[in-house]
Structure 1
Amino acid sequence: MTETKFTRSGVRLRRHSERPGGLNWLLLPGGPGIGSESLEELAAALEVPGAIWLVDLPGDGSNRSPPGAPADVFDVWPTVVVEAAQAVPDPVFVGHSTGGMYLLATPELAPHLKGLALLDTAPDASWHPRYVEMALASPLPEVEAAMAVYEADRCDANITAITVASAPWNFTPAGLQAGRELLARMPYNSAAVDWSDAHFDHVYAARWWPADIPILRLAGAQDRIVWQGGWDAPRYCTPNVIERAIPGAGHFPWIENPDAVRAAFADFSRRLVG
């Protein structure tokens, strides 16, 4: 990372890389509780004009005690994403999974963005019961064992075991080993998990849909985590949307098929600067 900056409320932006061009790509992780380190392979795969930044909300991932953060960091979730958009010129927000949901829950972003990319995310909370159904229909004994350990000792280290055990839900067989390695090295934050579960995950619904900026909506064709059917509503089928299903990929599609993800972002970039 070549540069780190914090917003007034403690959002952290770390510049991953930079190419010629004036855009600033803000990569916001899913989870919640997982750090933007989960997007490092995505950042490395992209060949887009401008700078790529990894973004962590205050209290998320490894951004534990950032300067300027309120005493209760979750008081500013998720609207604090606006501060990240204001921190750089010509921002393009890229939200993965729950990160994309935080963006769509924050209409205050509207006047600030040059573009919006939504990766393996959903327009409302209807994805969640389908995820639960999938997990019940395809049980992983390792997840159940790790969950029991976590319930007895709700420490961050025990979240790692749950997440790594859930890798077969998140990745295709071809990407499983790389996926386990990715999930094993992530920082996790149980407080962020608990906040989102109590205040966001089950009641979320998109509060805005931009029609005047380019949108990339992308997901792994074999994503088992976040159901993509909610996007069929006419509200979201606007002419400014580029839609891509990434073949042979799960919930982190840049792991199994980085070439297709790179190509989708190339198309998106051309629309942004064209």
Structure 2
Amino acid sequence: MITDDGRELWTSATGRGEPILCCHGGPGLWDMFGTLDLGSRFRLIRWDQRGAGRSEPSGPYTLGRMVADVDAVREGHGLDRVPVLGHSWGAQLGLLYALAYPERVSALVYVSGVGLGHDWRPEFKRNFERALGDRRARWAELREKDRDEAEERELAVLQWTADFVADGDRHAEAMATPWFPVNYEANAALSEEMRATPERELVEACRALTVPVLIIDGAADIRPRWAVDSLERALPSVTRVRLPGVGHVPWLEEPDAFRAAVLDFLPGS
């Protein structure tokens, strides 16, 4: 599909049920919801965000532009009002979209997001290094060198193993298949803009949000879950589900529990 500023986005609809629009993590990565199974009830609307994966490799990379792209995907699939499911950075993007267009979002599923503030990063770094264990030396070596494409993938897989409590190698390999170049420009630009947004502004905006929100946390996520507490407190209509013994990608580690949480929250047709 083509956005209003002429950028080509890859998008796909999987399944035949009710539509749910998915926003993947990153920034600068691509859709990894090919392993997401919500059963026959839902049709997954998936897409690669601009500059990444199978979408056109060009910006601009701003929060406003990314929100507009979410709306373009919704409109491109002929949807008036739709539930949105976002993971990690995509959870923040889904939240920003709901704040901008609440009349177009019937519900938000906020999966493994990092909340509204930025003081979680030091604890995350400590948890990450501890989770890497003896892989840390190779990860640091790759980080410091000029990498070819095979080494880029190796670095990502090493990094992603820390996001899981068990079977990290297998799950990280699944996330890296298929593999596309990471868009570091998009990652840097969007991360900087997010850090520049004061938490108090987002809290005030969330207090006025009438869209029902489900927050799903893996209790063992290396991103500290207390970082999401201010978001939970600010939302007028919120449900929070914590999955014990689960890391950053709960639909891979506990697919049944994850699916049950989503299905219980979203109203049936």
The TM-score range, normalised by the shorter chain, is 0.7 to 0.9
What SS does the aligned partner of 1:262 have? helix
Structure 2 counterpart of 1:126, from 119, 122, 127: 119
In 1, the alpha carbon distance for the partners of 2:156 and 2:87 equals: 16
**1:40 match:** 34
2:161–2:169 Cα contact (<8 Å) kept: no
**2:194 match:** 200
**1:236 match:** 233
In 2, the alpha carbon distance for the partners of 1:64 and 1:155 equals: 21
Residues 1:11 and 1:77: Cα distance change in structure 2 (over 3 Å) = same
**Is 1:104 equivalent to 2:95 in the alignment?**
yes
What SS does the aligned partner of 1:130 have? helix
Residues 1:86 and 1:79: Cα distance change in structure 2 (over 3 Å) = same
Q: Which amino acid aligns with 2:66?
A: P
Q: Which amino acid aligns with 2:88?
A: S
2:142–2:155 Cα contact (<8 Å) kept: no
Q: Which amino acid aligns with 2:102?
A: A
Tell me the CA shift for residue 242 of structure 1: 2.0
2:25–2:89 Cα contact (<8 Å) kept: yes
**Is 1:82 equivalent to 2:71 in the alignment?**
yes
Q: Which amino acid aligns with 1:251?
A: H
**2:3 match:** 7
Tell me the CA shift for residue 161 of structure 1: 1.6
1:95–1:119 Cα contact (<8 Å) kept: yes
2:11–2:48 Cα contact (<8 Å) kept: yes
In 2, the alpha carbon distance for the partners of 1:234 and 1:260 equals: 23
2:211–2:237 Cα contact (<8 Å) kept: yes
Residues 1:160 and 1:193: Cα distance change in structure 2 (over 3 Å) = farther
CA RMSD of aligned residues (A): 2.8
In 1, the alpha carbon distance for the partners of 2:65 and 2:149 equals: 20
In 1, the alpha carbon distance for the partners of 2:43 and 2:131 equals: 40
Aligned runs of 1:43-62 on 2, under 5 Å?
45-47=37-39, 49-62=41-54
In 2, the alpha carbon distance for the partners of 1:96 and 1:156 equals: 25
Identity rate, percent = 20
TM normalised by structure 1 equals 0.79
In 2, the alpha carbon distance for the partners of 1:62 and 1:192 equals: 15
**Is 1:148 equivalent to 2:141 in the alignment?**
yes
Tell me the CA shift for residue 254 of structure 1: 0.8
TM normalised by structure 2 equals 0.80
**2:171 match:** 179
In 1, the alpha carbon distance for the partners of 2:2 and 2:224 equals: 33
1:167–1:176 Cα contact (<8 Å) kept: yes
What is the total number of aligned residue pairs between the two structures?
A: 255
Give ranges in structure 1 of 5+ residues lacking alignment: 66-70
